[in-house]
Structure 1
Amino acid sequence: MTTSAHDQRHRASDTPAPDVLVDVHRLSVRIRTPLGHVVHALNDVSFGLRPGRVLALVGESGSGKSVLAATILGLLPANAQVRGRIMLHDGGESIDLLRASETRLAAKVRGRRIGLVPQSASTHLTPVRTARSQLEEAVRALTPRGHRRFGASSRGQSLTITERVRELAGHVGLDPADLALYPHEMSGGMAQRVATALALAGDPRVVVADEPTAGLDRELVHLTVDLLRALASEGRTVLLITHDLGAAERVADDIAVMYAGRMLEFGPATQLLSDSWHDYTRGLLRALPAGGLVPIPGQPPSLTDLPPGCAFHRRCPGECSGDLALTWFGERAVACR
């Protein structure tokens, strides 16, 4: 994704840019708890996802990243209130993901147009079934009228379910013998690859990966994000949700920085990481080993009790402008500069 002045105009006019697959426009999510508190999970978030690119959504826990993934897939709890718009433009069809029925989301979107690689992959696998059994079920459910080869170069060639499962496994780096394993027999990296294969079973154009590297050692982190990069290179759109700036730096084309439900900075990855504009982004980089492992002082605010104005101002070493809105400068944007 590259967001530019052109994108600002398309959002202002409600007309999507021609190559945007998923257009998120001024999205806000409120969730009321059983005790009557209101969680301000997302606040006025806008961005677009384009084919062939990886957008990394980064930030501390509680910044709203995973809520955003759930909102895109229509998986929010019934007590959530949503404002804004999320449009999916694919195959000549536009679907309003916030207003589509559960039946339409299940039949047209989840797995088929948007695949999810879930957080803590091993806990999302069925414990009493092998990887092969789970992949066969996914292929059967998502492609009941013929099974197409993975990748644009060979689309349209029919495969049996067994052949399709073998192809998916090979695509994510699983050996044939791995398919006979149960989840408790898998390493964390292997479970992650099985979860990725399940997300690809319906050949979606959009892949949402929610903290796919959590709990993995650095070598497995690299293998996991390199696979996501390969998916984008095939023409898919990848939304990588992560707290790991190192992983984002390795594969992302663009980075969006989230804090307390708001987007604070956005830009091409190389520019944002080498010349960060927001003090929060600078703080995240200083907290990395390469930055000296300097923690950001304080704690993020409670999403049920956000302070007035900028939610970061109590932790910010700079002078706060008080401007919450993103200001665009070509391909980059920042909430306070």
Structure 2
Amino acid sequence: MTAALTVDALTVRIPVRAGTVHAATDVGLTLETGRTHALVGESGCGKSIVASALCGLLPSNAQVSGSIRLTSGADPVEIVGAPERVLRTVRGRRIALVPQSAATYLTPVRTVGAQLDETLLHLESRYGIDELLDRVGLNASCRDLYPHQLSGGMAQRAAVAFALAGDPEVIAADEPTSSLDPALTERILTLLDGCAEAGAAVLLITHDIAAVTGHADTVSVMYAGRILESGPAAAVLDDPWHDYTKDLVAALPRNGLRPLPGSPPELTDLPDDCVYHLRRPDTAFSGGPTHLLRTGDRVVRTRVGGRP
């Protein structure tokens, strides 16, 4: 498979009044053309920051190190540190974001059609409004609706239509099924499957591990800003190695809805090392310096000297 985008040692710190938010720490991902990579974990663990970083949409005061390199196509681009004039050539055209709570990203006093038409003109898209709406399963009459007239599922499909307008190489879908019923969830995920089948690299960000099954090729598990485990989706979900992943999988309905211990930590002024031991003191993977240990096509974060 061809890598469309690589994230290497991405670290994001955001100063706030209360201290410094450790939004992401040493994050590494590889998004491949024609495949879906799921980034999962509880809410508040830093997943959305990764999506924003891919598109160069972090807060202006964010302190960013590491690399986000768009490698597909004939013109590789480094996103971290790129000037706005470069990012404007990338957003929408090469990397597109399907935002969480899509309806809130639309201008409330303009119709969906008017906003989509403006997007198509800006991107010099080869598509028409009705063609894109049809592609995401929306009736052409939706072009005349205002955002408040859209249901949650319609708004999410409209957001995908905006994302597809520029034929992007990478699509970052941030919680695209949040608050949707099972039928609409499956419809949105199937739509993203189609994007991957058409050649895009899809990053599916979700706290709903059940939604990953059957839709993701690869999965990375994130906790408190760090990647704790990565590998083929079926292998990770069927045989999790890290204790956090085991606890996430155990909380699924099919596994008895066993609640995770404790609560996710605040990301402000976190310690330098992985902190899952604060919720599960008996874990052998956290509590001291950790590193990512690779075994075949799987990676797990464990204490230095530890074993998966």
TM-score range, shorter chain: over 0.9
Aligned twin of 1:189: 153
Aligned twin of 2:270: 306
Partner secondary structure for residue 132 of structure 1:
helix
Partner secondary structure for residue 263 of structure 1:
strand
Aligned twin of 1:88: 70
Which of 84, 105, 120 is residue 101 of structure 2 equivalent to? 120
Report the Cα offset of residue 91 of structure 1: 2.3
Which whole-Å CA distance do the structure 1 matches of 2:262 and 2:35 have between them? Answer: 34
TM-score by length of 1: 0.86
Question: Which has the larger displacement, 177-186 or 307-316?
Answer: 307-316
- 1:323 and 1:335 in contact (8 A); partners too: no
Report the Cα offset of residue 320 of structure 1: 3.9
- 1:301 and 1:307 in contact (8 A); partners too: no
Matched, 1:58 2:40: yes
Report the Cα offset of residue 255 of structure 1: 0.4
Structure 1 residues 221 and 66, CA, compared in 2 at 3 Å: closer, same or farther? same
Question: Which has the larger displacement, 312-321 or 261-270?
Answer: 312-321
Report the Cα offset of residue 308 of structure 1: 5.7
Structure 1 residues 133 and 98, CA, compared in 2 at 3 Å: closer, same or farther? same
Matched, 1:165 2:129: yes
Aligned twin of 1:319: 284
Per-residue CA distance 1:304-329 (angstroms, 9 max, x = gap): 23246331012224334645211111
Aligned residue pairs, count: 301
- 2:133 and 2:139 in contact (8 A); partners too: yes
Which of 234, 246, 249 is residue 285 of structure 1 equivalent to? 249
Q: Which amino acid aligns with 2:224?
A: A
- 2:3 and 2:72 in contact (8 A); partners too: no
Aligned twin of 1:219: 183
Percent identity between matched residues is: 51
Aligned twin of 1:104: 86
Which of 219, 240, 251 is residue 276 of structure 1 equivalent to? 240
- 2:243 and 2:285 in contact (8 A); partners too: no
Structure 1 residues 192 and 179, CA, compared in 2 at 3 Å: closer, same or farther? same
Report the Cα offset of residue 133 of structure 1: 1.1
Partner secondary structure for residue 290 of structure 2:
coil
Per-residue CA distance 1:65-114 (angstroms, 9 max, x = gap): 001111111111121111111111232111110121111101x1000001
Per-residue CA distance 1:130-188 (angstroms, 9 max, x = gap): 11111111101111xxx425xxxxxxxxxxxxxx1111111101111222211111111
Aligned twin of 1:21: 4
Structure 1 residues 190 and 277, CA, compared in 2 at 3 Å: closer, same or farther? same
> Can you give the 5+ residue segments of structure 1 that lack an aligned partner in the other structure?
2-18, 150-163
Partner secondary structure for residue 123 of structure 1:
helix
> Can you give the 5+ residue segments of structure 2 that lack an aligned partner in the other structure?
303-307
Which whole-Å CA distance do the structure 2 matches of 1:91 and 1:236 have between them? Answer: 12
Report the Cα offset of residue 205 of structure 1: 1.2
Partner secondary structure for residue 56 of structure 2:
coil
Which of 223, 240, 255 is residue 259 of structure 1 equivalent to? 223
CA RMSD of aligned residues (A): 1.4
Report the Cα offset of residue 242 of structure 1: 0.5
Which whole-Å CA distance do the structure 2 matches of 1:29 and 1:242 have between them? Answer: 20
Matched, 1:249 2:230: no
Which of 300, 323, 329 is residue 295 of structure 2 equivalent to? 329
